Chain A
């Protein structure tokens, strides 16, 4: 008798809200059995501005997803983004207590507790503690349990957010009568989809450029070293184009999608595009050069901001895995060349796993797919088992099949 649990991955995005329904069978395999989408309203730069509007569009998407799956959802995994998210490195350090110098489960627990114990200001709330570097007497180890040493350090990248905003997000889901099982920041969710283990080990940077915000995650030595959010996305490109080309938002958006380009090439200098394209009165020529200039300036700045947020660690040597771009805005032509230029490292577009059905391969689905991935593996896979049960034996098989 198999036991199945129906979970939903919900991303309340700036342009659209996407809900994927997955069925977890026996806690081992997952199939995508339903999907719902709605265009968002009341969300800008990844943050909810109009609770009611955002609720309505999210609920519509959930309803659509339940209908397409034909089952009721048990729990929701929710993505979180927005510039209110911040993170810091913290370390839990303990002296190994056992007389024989072997690290015990209680040592690890103490170190973990200390690493996560930093108090936050009143209105902030922790979203994740992501374990990264584990040092035993200053030497990097993967699993310290039963190893010999004197001093154990466990490092954490702790992500925290504005309590009200986080709560707003959860309330939207609760308003539909569903519990939120877990909240995962978008960057980590996307990252888990588009980066392979090898690249994580080598060092890679994932940029999920969405409509309202850009989420990034930096992998080093196989773990998540840093994450961040820049509240700049495709909406900004549209806005810049609307202002710079003096066209309305709708036309600017259309121009961006049709002939947006991130890097200026020789042919673009003289080429002209039609504003509307219907050759009716009021239509006019727009030099492509102007368009590309505006987009290039914005994306160039965006990449530079990310580079600055990461700091001195952001060098080509640290990123042999390269820059991986995903998210809706990553579809702009030439964006990889621009990213490669700014970061001085190789850049490519992220690809969602092949096992996923065709219509979910688009870069804008990386985040929701990542959420489902975490629903299956448990976001706390980052945590150690402290000797209670063996790791690896219950390794869950990720099997994403579209329904």
Chain B
């Protein structure tokens, strides 16, 4: 899979969207690093690749240009041996190097395999640093196979919960699904390639929206707006159609995408990001059909961000990528600008000589977004910190996670109005968010038996392949 993240000059450059937008793809832990390796993203674009690991040996063998070994004093260059606590300590010990790695970035993708030590422990730390630096953080997290045992699953779920609190969007990919998708006699490697493929298409789609020429371009501010509430469930689906009635085929493929049929995912989204990649024969009529079908299925037309990109290599082919975020389960972790009291080292210098001052104007103030959508890059507009924003800012400690604020509600979930309005047990609601990801059996007690959650379909946990 090769995704070129080319910036095309011309109209995009002029609007200043692709310009100076800095994207980093960071693999955390062994699995995450491998994924970044295998994806072989082109280095041409602004997307830079980086790897963070505790295992010196694994890191040495990786071709990724930017490598960071963490926790030398904790693990002495060895792996964490599956201890998430060690992974966290390792990351916290080297927090300044991580800070360096993420500072000045606008968009950070974190690719991580949860369940192990380094990934589960360090990824939330990395995500928090990136977010505190003002970057938009999107994490793709693979979850271990059920047959790997209860302990790894527990670690993974705890880490997933933590990630949800600090990332703008977390897209979980249960490995159990790989078995569903793989060919009858696929090897383990094939299965993992499939996971990488999903992640690659997800990352690629978001980047393509920002960087590539398209029928409909999406600027970074719009993208940020789509992810303005943190901690909620996400929705992620891919569909592809070729030849003939390629739009219809792609829509069918999307409807059957196993990623959309796991307990981990939301059925409807409050904000939807739809990206369509097609050849030059992709007409606006096609785009319209896709949009109509997708918004009908996943919800809210009003809050849908649409991108349509032309790729010359994809004649009579169309790829649809849907990413949705919801307020469900996440409460209202509204994106906050960097806190002024945080010890924020000024980013070394920005290549364009432009001050990267994310303290102001982030989409944390959705009101601004609504007014300023015409300004493609509202980071440039030099807002004074808004007084009303300050007043709602929590006055508590310097902990990164305490940024949950009650913002005046702008994006209210259309999905579960009653809950969103139910102010009484809001606190509880926030804290159980990570457990509320099980589809129909949401909000019921975990149904654990021998470390397995019985509410998750048996065929998924046992790796029984269901062919449709």
Contacts and interface: CB of A to CB of B under 8 A. Distances in A.
Contacts of B256: 246
B60 to A, nearest CB: 41
A243 B454 contact: no
A244 B466 contact: yes
B457 A287 contact: no
A297 B464 contact: yes
Interface in B253-281: 255-256, 258, 260-263
B458 interface: yes
* Interface hub of A230, A249, A293 (most chain B Cβ within 10 A): A293
B contact face: mostly helix, strand, loop, or mixed: loop
A239 B444 contact: no
B63 interface: no
Interface in A19-78: 44-45, 47, 49
B468 to A, nearest CB: 6
Q: Could you say which interface size class chain A belongs to?
A: 20 to 34
B460 A243 contact: yes
B390 to A, nearest CB: 39
A49 B468 contact: no
Interface string B237-256: 00000000000000000011
Given A286-B468, A287-B467, A301 B255 contact: no
Contact of B457 (A44, A49, A240, A289): A240
Contact of B440 (A231, A245, A249): A249
Nearest to A232: B454
A305 interface: yes
A110 interface: no
A298 interface: yes
A290 interface: yes
B440 A294 contact: no
A242 interface: yes
Contacts of B466: 244-245, 290, 293-294
A294 B459 contact: yes
Contact of B261 (A44, A243, A287, A297): A243
A83 interface: yes
A49 B447 contact: no
Given A290-B467, A293-B466, A301-B458, A47 B444 contact: yes
Given A45-B444, A232-B447, A290-B468, A239 B457 contact: yes
* Interface hub of B450, B458, B467 (most chain A Cβ within 10 A): B458
A155 to B, nearest CB: 27
A49 B439 contact: no
B255 A297 contact: no
A195 B430 CA distance: 47
A364 to B, nearest CB: 21
Interface in B376-393: none
B454 A231 contact: yes
B455 interface: yes
Contacts, number: 84
A244 B449 contact: no
Interface in B440-463: 440-441, 443-445, 447, 449-450, 454-455, 457-460, 462
A300 B457 CA distance: 12
Nearest to A282: B255
A242 B466 CA distance: 12
A380 B261 CA distance: 48
A235 interface: yes
A16 to B, nearest CB: 17
A83 B454 CA distance: 12
Contacts of B464: 293-294, 297
Nearest to A245: B468
B172 to A, nearest CB: 15
Nearest to B468: A290
Contacts of B260: 246
A74 B425 CA distance: 37
Contacts of A49: 443-444
B444 to A, nearest CB: 5
Interface in A287-337: 287, 289-290, 293-294, 297-298, 300-301, 305, 308
A242 B260 CA distance: 11
Contacts of B450: 308
A239 B440 contact: yes
B453 to A, nearest CB: 11
A246 B455 contact: no
A308 B452 CA distance: 14
A235 B440 contact: yes
B467 to A, nearest CB: 6
A236 interface: yes
Interface in A254-287: 286-287
Contacts of B454: 230-232, 236, 301, 305
A184 B262 CA distance: 36
Contacts of A289: 467
B447 A231 contact: yes
A230 B255 CA distance: 33
Contacts of B441: 44-45, 239
Contact of B459 (A44, A232, A240): A240
B445 A83 contact: yes
A246 B468 contact: yes
Contacts of B439: 239, 243
Contacts of A240: 457-459
A8 B259 CA distance: 47
B440 A244 contact: no
A243 B458 CA distance: 11
A151 B398 CA distance: 68
19 contacts: A44-B443, A44-B444, A45-B444, A49-B443, A231-B447, A232-B454, A240-B458, A242-B440, A243-B439, A245-B466, A245-B468, A246-B260, A246-B468, A249-B440, A294-B457, A297-B457, A297-B458, A297-B464, A298-B457
Closest 9 CB pairs of A and B: A240-B457, A297-B458, A297-B459, A298-B458, A243-B261, A290-B466, A301-B458, A239-B440, A244-B466
Interface of A: 44-45, 47, 49, 83, 230-232, 235-236, 239-240, 242-246, 249, 286-287, 289-290, 293-294, 297-298, 300-301, 305, 308
Given A45-B447, A301-B462, 18 more contacts: A45-B441, A49-B444, A231-B454, A232-B454, A236-B454, A239-B263, A239-B440, A240-B457, A242-B261, A244-B457, A244-B460, A245-B468, A246-B261, A249-B440, A289-B467, A294-B457, A294-B466, A305-B449
